[in-house]
């Protein structure tokens, strides 16, 4: 992100270093991941020691220090989803995308993550693609669910 954009975020949180988690979230929301340049900029301008920025960026699940796919995929592995077969859905996704958890497909379209409960258990197993929630997932439905994101017209 260009420095002006980061400055806007820092201003929004009044340059409070206790807001660093929210600052990083806003940054990742726009940029899809947290780049080294951006983290150094935040460290210098908030200001906050760079060690603290990296401790936080590597501690919390929300953050990714490597670029994610255009449509990050999150598979919920909460207990209710697990009992309803989420692990099998995850396996199917691994096969379908040919990547493991934490990876990005070669075309940069999808990345695969797991999340430890989205709190939408009634529709489990759930897979989030981009911002869309796909409920009652089964291994058999995976292919169809991903189809619409593969279409070039989908922006």
Partner 1 sequence: MIKFTIDGVEVQAEEGQNVLQVALDNGFDIPHLCYHEALEPYGACRLCQVEVTKGNRTSLTTSCNYPALEGIDVQTSTDKVNKARKMVIELLLSRSPNVPVLKELAEEYSVGEPRFKLGDDDCILCGLCERVCREVVGVEAISFLGRGSDRKVGPPLGINPQTCIGCGACAYVCPADCIKIEENENERTIVRWGRTLPMKKCKVCGRSFAPWFQLSYFDKITEGIPKDFWEKCPDCR
Partner 2 sequence: MKSINTPQELEKIRKEIVGGRDPEKPCIAITSGTSARAYGSEKVIDTLRAALKKQGLTKKIDIRITGGQGFDEREPLLIVYPQDILYQQVKPKDISEIVSETLLGNRIIDRLLYKDPQTGEKIANKDDIPFYKAQTPYVFGNNSKIDPTSIEDYFTIGGYSTLAKVLTEFSPEQVIDIIKKSGLRGRGGGGFPTGIKWESCRNAPGNKHYVICNADEGDPGAYMDRGLLEGNPHSILEGMMIGAYAIGSDEGYVYVRYEYPLASENVEKAIEQLRDYGLLGKNILGTAFNFDIKVSRGGGAFICGESTALMASLEGKVGEPRAKHIHTVESGLWDQPTDLNNVETWANVPLIINKGVDWYTGIGTEGSKGTKIFSLVGKVKNTGLVEVPMGMTIREIVYDIGGGIAGNGTLKAVQTGGPSGGAIPASLIDMPVDYDKLKEVGSMMGSGGMIVMDNKTCMVDIARYFMNFLKDESCGKCTTCREGTRRMYEVLDAITKGEGKEGDIELLEELSWIVAEGSLCALGQTAPNPVLSTIRYFRDEYDAHIKEKSCPAGVCKALITYSIDEEACTGCGMCKKICPSDAITGEKKKLHVIDTEKCIRCGACMAACNFDAVTVV
Is 66 a residue that touches partner 1 (CB under 8 A)?
no
Task: Give the one entry of partner 2, partner 1, none that residue 17 binds, where binding means its C-beta sits below a cut-off of 5 to 8 angstroms depending on kind.
Answer: partner 2
Task: Give the one entry of partner 1, partner 2, none that residue 49 binds, where binding means its C-beta sits below a cut-off of 5 to 8 angstroms depending on kind.
Answer: partner 1
Distance, CA of 150 to CA of 89 (rounded, Å): 19
Task: Give the one entry of partner 2, partner 1, none that residue 30 binds, where binding means its C-beta sits below a cut-off of 5 to 8 angstroms depending on kind.
Answer: none
- CA geometry: angle at 109 spanning 80 and 6, to 5°? 90
Binding to partner 1, residues 2-41 (CB under 8 A): 36, 39
| Cβ-based nearer residue to partner 1, 51 or 144 | 51
What are the residues binding partner 1 (CB under 8 A)? 36, 39, 49-55, 58-59
């Amino acid at each position: 992100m260009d420095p002006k954009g980061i400055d806007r975020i820092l201003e929004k949180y009044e340059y409070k270093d206790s807001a660093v988690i929210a600052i990083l979230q806003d940054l990742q929301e726009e940029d899809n991941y947290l780049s080294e340049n951006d983290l150094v900029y935040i460290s210098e301008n908030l200001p906050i020691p760079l060690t603290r920025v990296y401790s936080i960026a590597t501690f919390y699940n929300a953050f990714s220090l490597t670029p994610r796919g255009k449509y990050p995929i999150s598979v919920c592995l909460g207990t209710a989803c697990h009992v309803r077969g989420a692990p099998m859905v995850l396996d199917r996704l691994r096969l379908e995308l040919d990547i493991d958890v934490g990876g990005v497909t070669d075309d940069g379209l999808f990345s695969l993550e797991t999340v430890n409960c989205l709190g939408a258990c009634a529709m489990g197993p759930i897979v989030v693609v981009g911002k869309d929630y796909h409920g009652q997932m089964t291994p058999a439905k995976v292919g169809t669910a991903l189809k619409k994101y593969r279409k070039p017209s989908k922006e």
